[in-house]
Structure formats: C-alpha cells, structure tokens
Structure 1
C-alpha cells in the first residue's frame, strides 16, 4: 500500500488553497482599511463642501457598506468561489429581508425624503407627529426630538412624513399672538392704548412688521382684542410669557377688568309652601 500519495495530496491541497486563503485574507484586510480611509476622505470632502451633516452621515454609511461588499466579493473570488451565485443568493435574501422589514424600509425611505427636501434639520424646533421640541438627531430609521422638559422622544421617520410638519426655526422672526378680553363697561379706547403701549415698551418687539392691536370680537361677556407683535425667533417664548404677565399687571393698575366665566343662580321663594 502506497502511503505517500495520501501524504502528498494534503500537501498539494494545502499549497494550492493555502496561498488562495492567504491572498483572500490579505485582500479583505487591506481592502477594509482602504474602505475606511476612502469613507473618511469622502466625509471630509463633503464637510468642506458644506453639505448638510445629516446627508453626510447618510452617504457615509452607504459608501462604507457598498465598498465593503465589493471587498468581500473580491476576497471570495480570489478563493475561486463563483460570486455570481452569491449575488443571486444575496438578491433573494435581500428580497426576503425587504418584505420582512418593510416598515423599517419605509423609515429609510422617509429619511431619504427628509434629507433631500429638508423640511427640518438638526437644531430646528418643530412640531410633528404629536411631538413638539428641538431636533437632536436624524438617522436612517428615526428622528430624535427633545421637548422643553428635556426628555427624549424617538419618532419613526415614516410617522413624520405622513403628517404635517411645523418648523419654527425656518424663519428668523415669529409672531407673538394673544387674545385679551375686557368688560363691556370698561373704557375700550384706554384698553387699546394700554395694549399698544405694552408692545412698544418692549425693546425685543420689532417695528417691522408693525405690531397690531384691534378689536376682534364682541363676545358674549367680553370685548376681545387681538394682540400681535413680531419678534426674533430666539426671543419668542420669553416675549410670549412676559406679555401675559405685563397685560394682567397693567390692567389691574388701570382698573381694566378681564372677564371670566361665571354663573349666576337665582332662587325664588313661593309663599305658603315649605
């Protein structure tokens, strides 16, 4: 019995496939390093070109995974594996995963729309999907919003796209608007002049567009004034709350009443009945 052939065959296979395995590993390791460098370079170039940071992160992820797949296929091809069949398998697997994760893919599609059309960006104050706050992060699946109470709300991107989005940061100016009511027995002209003086005395209120105080309604129990003042977006909430306080204190000083809902109950006493 010739034992030499059983010894030579493993050596033959080791010498033949060992080099291929080493070459495949080298291609994968060097390729992965190159992918990271190319991805980092592309990020740097996009940031220098002042591309939106959200869009940069999105493209960076796509570039990394596409190039990594190319490196993996090149490594497999070096081993002598037919990558065409793998592409077919990946395609079928991708279809199955896509059907299973259709909701997640809809979030990715929504993220692409947000990045392209930019209804809002990181740092904007928005109201959408029943949540109001500052946008802290936009990723492929969700948007992170921080309300005024400093909690964190994770909103799926598809939910944002489906409804209305109110962006409070797109404009440099915002309008503070209130409705104030006075009693029918109060001096209407005095109330109107008082409201305008309150607006004009606040340095944060802009002269253009011009502020407005006007009678908006003769209500059931009050004469209502519409009160409008334009301010810088950063001053909006401070002015909003300050105006409420100033109006109440000034009305009290000048004896102008602010009607509130009340109910009068009248009782009648009938003679001879207990």
Structure 2
C-alpha cells in the first residue's frame, strides 16, 4: 500500500510538472497574435476583452462594485495617505530640521517628506495585509506595498545622492518604468485575463518607450554617470520590450523589464546608503568628533555586501512572484545540481559560501585593526606581519575546506581531476609555486616585514612580504620588488635580524704631535651622552693610520640602522665641537709646491760654438 501511494504521488507530481511546463510555455514562449488586430479591428478586440473579463474564472474575486463599499475603501485609503503625510512632515521638518540645516539639505525637506510618506504608506499596507482575512485585499495590499517600497527605494537614492536642482530630472528618468510596473500590478490585482494584458501591454510599452526616449534626450546631461548608465539600459530594454510585446510575448517582456528594474533599484539603494554613510562621516569630521573606527568597515564590508546578496535574490524572486512563480524560483535555488564524480551543490549552497566569505573577510579585517590598535607603530615590523599573513592564509585555507564540505565535494573525484591536471598545472604555475614556497621560507626564518636589508647594492626597508614578491623601500623613497625565489637564493644582509644597531667607522684626523690618548678620551666622553647609541655595544677609538698630514683615528660606533644618516651626522658634530673646545686641531691636507721656472723670464743664451775646420 505504501509503495502504491508513493507511485501515485510521483505520478501526480510528474503530471503537475508537465502541466506547469505546458502553461509556462503557453504564457511566456507561445506568441499571442491578438496585438496585430488592435488597429485592424479595435471594436472586436474591445468586445473580446470585455467578454473574457466577464467570463473569467476569477470574476468572483473582483472588487465590489457597490457605491458604499467603494466609498469606504476610498476613505480608508485617503485617511492612510493623510496620516502618513502628516507624520512624515512632522518627522522630517521637526525632528530632523537641525540636521538638514547643518548638512545643507534643508531645501530637500519636501523631497524627504515625500519619500517618508511613501514608505509609511507601504508599512501601513503591510500591516493591513497581516490583519486582513480577505484574499483579494491581502493580495492588493501586498502588491501595493511592494510597488511603494520599490518607488521609495529609488526616490531615497535620488534624494540622497543628487543636488536639489537635479532631483526632478532623476524622477522623470525613472518614473515611466515604475508606472509601467504599477499598471501591470493593477492588472494582476484586478485579475485581468491574458487577452487584456496582451492588448494593453504593447500600447503601453510603446508610449513608455517614446516618453523615456524624449526624457533621456533632455535630462541625461543633468544626471551623474551612474544614472545615465541606468537610464540608457532601461531605455534599450523598454524598446526591446515593445518589440517583444508587438510580437506577442507581453509577459516575457514585462518579466525581463521588471527583473532589470529590481536589480537597478537594489544597486541604487546600496549606492544611496553608501552616500548616506559618507555624509554621516563628513558631518562628524566637521563637528570635530572622534571618528567611529569600526562603523564604516562594519557597514561597507559586512552589512552592504550581505544586503546586496539578499537584494539580488529578491530581485529575481519578486518579478516571478508577480506571476505566482516565486515558489518555482525558490525551488530552483534549493534544487541540487550534480557534476559527476566532483560535487553536488545547489545555488543555496553557493549563496551560503559567499556569505561565509564576506563574514570571514570582515573578521580578518577586524582582527588586523585590533592588532594595529594594540601594537601601534610596531604592527608593521617584527613577527606581527608574518603572523597576520600566515593566519590569513590558514583561515582562507579553512574556508576552502569548509566550502568543499558544503558543496558535498567528492574528494576522490577531485584528486583524480587534480592528478590528471597536475602536470599541466605544475608547468604553468612553476614560478608561482616556487615564489610561494620561497616566501613562506622567508617568513618563517630569514626575513620579517620592517627589516633593513642590503641586496644587490640596494639598501632599504622591507615594506611588504607577500606570497609571490617582496617589496623593499629604499632610502631615496623608491620601491624595488624582488621575487621571493630570487631573494631566497641571494646572500643578502639583514641589518636588523639580531638587533637594531649597526657598527660604523667614523674617520677623524689629528695633527702630528697631539696626544692620542687625550684625543681618545675626549671622543669617548663627547659620545657617551648620545642617547641613540647602543648601551650594550661600546664605542671604541683606535689609531687607524698615519696620513700625509694627520694621524687618522677610527671611531667605531653602534648606531641605529633605521636612522643611520642622521645619527652619523650627530656623531661627527659632537667630535668636531669637542676638539674645538679642547683645542685639538683637525689638519687639512697640505702640499709643497716647487717652481722650476717662472713664466715670462728669459733664459740666458749660451754662446755658439765656433765652426769646426775641415
């Protein structure tokens, strides 16, 4: 009995799917030729529409036509509109008056009032949907609330981003598409037959296309680049929708356009929220308040990316829900897809992995900021950057493993595929893998970020130690990049690996006859008070050589590696002032010049010898 019932359920599901696919194909993929008779025989089209409306299976669900009920609904809607407007005006003009004045947006108060009014009406419709028991009223309130939320999101983005003089231009650009969507929702709300949609949509799409083209030509130069881009894409899709409607694919044209409008609205809402965050931080800086360090990363790296994922999903589900196909889209999201012998996943798994990646990226950023606040300037030097790099690598590796578990990965199949591709991947990524391994070896022993090194005649500080390359900032401010494999094979000098001091010889000459021991004592006493010299490594003064005009002393000092130039300058100044104070002269080179001839003096002519007789 159980097996028979299971077979019957499976047969019913198969039949239901077959009927649904047939209906879906008939509605979306089968062209309706009714639009071609709009101008040929409008009277026949009108009678056909009225007949279909009256004989519709949903005619019993039509709105009541008696005058008293209609007046009652009209008064309720008018009261909701009036209450929402008064409340929004009180909120904007009284509650946020000072804020608008300080931010320079007081001239936008009426625009903010309108946005708040639309949002409050949407909230009231949602409450009415939850309280009502009538199916028609619940459906009408739901569609109305969704349309008003869509409108308020676009208006919020325009009011937040644009200047006062360009808000009306933005409204003229986007409103035709919203009105087109609102008209279709009214048809759905009144349970209009398909023939009514197929007759009205081509005309409406054509009118909206012409009006949008005219508005785009006049207003596009007044809008930012983002709005011009969206207006252009919307205009192109509307024109294509008109062509589809006249070809008989009205429902398909509307579904494509509404999906784009929802995606566009989601992006505009995110941009508006980002712009609002920027204005908030700017106002805090103008009031000389302490910046909230965690707030902006929390919004930009966690809240907005997660909100973007959910808005994209909503943009796909909501247009389909207009055709009562929201459950179909949701089932497609949860439906599993199998890649033979590799993974078995669904789109819900992909979304979950993306959300985990967003949260992990924010937690890594938060950890780095916490360490930076704790260690301050020492964060960029020593073992801390190495620890951060290795920890980040470990966490992302753990994320990859978790993603494979979520995706139900077949490890044997993955190993087989990787084994087959290992030869090609090995040759293609040979240098990359070598750099990564060399970088890990450098991080674990020979090099740390912030070290001062000398390599190939360059002296500089390690500013970045990555997986593939190492960046060195030289003393003249330039950046030199070494591949990790090259740097690993070189014999470079790490000046700060053991300690932060470097032994440097300073040469100074004294006159012949000067007491060397006295000069040595003066130098040691003069340098003993310098605070930057090493307290462990002692300064020494030796007789270095006998020069042509002086006795050369070698002063060996341990100075900080990072401040070598300035420290050596200070050492030389101390020695110079100390010798001057004690009367010890530092001779300069002297040379003796012997002149054999003076220019201009004539030499005596020797007498010529008498001629020899032959």
Does TM-score exceed 0.5, indicating one fold? yes
Partner of 1:26: 348
| 1:140 pairs with 2:501 | no
The answer to whether the 8 A contact 2:549-2:587 is kept is no
Determine whether 1:245 maps to 2:573.
yes
Judged with a 3 Å threshold, the aligned counterparts in structure 2 of structure 1 residues 56 and 95 are, in CA distance, closer, same or farther, namely: farther
- Residues 120 and 167, structure 1, Cα contact 8 Å, conserved in 2: no
Greater strand share, structure number: 1
What is the distance in 2 between the residues matched to 1:120 and 1:264? 54
**Paired position in structure 2 for 1:256:** 585
| Contact 1:126-1:169 within 8 A present in 2 as well | no
CA, structure 1 residues 255+34, in 2 after alignment: closer, same or farther (shift >3 Å)?
closer
Stretch moving more, 200-209 or 190-199? 200-209
For the pair shown, the structure with the greater C-alpha radius of gyration is 2
**Counterpart check, 1:109 vs 2:437:** yes
- Summarize the alignment of residues 45-60 of structure 1 with structure 2, pairs less than 5 Å apart: 52-60=384-392
State the alpha-carbon separation in 2 of the partners of residues 193 and 139 from structure 1: 49
Q: 1:106 to 1:272 in 2, by over 3 A?
A: farther
Change in 2 beyond 3 A, CA 1:36/1:203 = closer
Pair 1:71 & 2:387 matched: no
Could you say which residue in structure 2 is the equivalent of 1:217?
545
Q: Which has the higher contact order (CA 8 A, sep 6+)?
A: 1
Cα distance in 2 between the residues matched to 1:91 and 1:167: 44
Residues 6-25 of structure 1: CA deviation (Å, up to 9, x unaligned): x95x96xxx9x953249521
Report deviation, 1:139.
Answer: 0.9
CA offset at residue 222 of structure 1? 3.9
Q: Following TM superposition, by how much is the alpha carbon of 1:146 offset from its aligned partner in structure 2, in angstroms?
A: 2.0
Deviations 1:117-137 (A, max 9, x none): 1x3322333333433222222
CA-atom RMSD in angstroms? 4.4
Q: What SS is found at the alignment partner of 1:26?
A: helix
Alignment of 1:122 onto 2:449 = yes
Q: Distance in 1 between matches of 2:362 and 2:419?
A: 28
Gap runs ≥5 in structure 1: none
Say whether the 8 Å CA contact 2:502–2:560 is kept in structure 1.
Answer: yes
Q: Deviations over 1:134-155 (max 9, x none)?
A: 2222110112222233332222
Q: What residue in structure 2 maps to residue 192 of structure 1? A: 520
User: 1:191 aligns to what SS in structure 2?
Assistant: helix
Structure 2 unpaired stretches of 5+: 1-14, 22-327, 339-344, 376-382, 598-602, 607-614
Q: Which of 263-272 and 56-65 deviates more? A: 263-272
Count of residue correspondences: 257
SS in 2 for 1:134: strand
TM-score by length of 1: 0.69
| 1:112, distance to aligned residue in structure 2 (A) | 0.8
1:21 and 1:54, CA in 2 relative to 1: closer, same or farther beyond 3 A? same
| Post-superposition offset of 1:199 | 1.7
Q: 1:247 to 1:30 in 2, by over 3 A?
A: same
Q: 3-state DSSP class of the match of 1:54? A: helix
Does residue 96 of structure 1 match 2:424?
yes
Give the secondary-structure state (helix, strand or coil) at the position aligned to 2:542.
strand
CA positional deviation for 1:111: 0.9
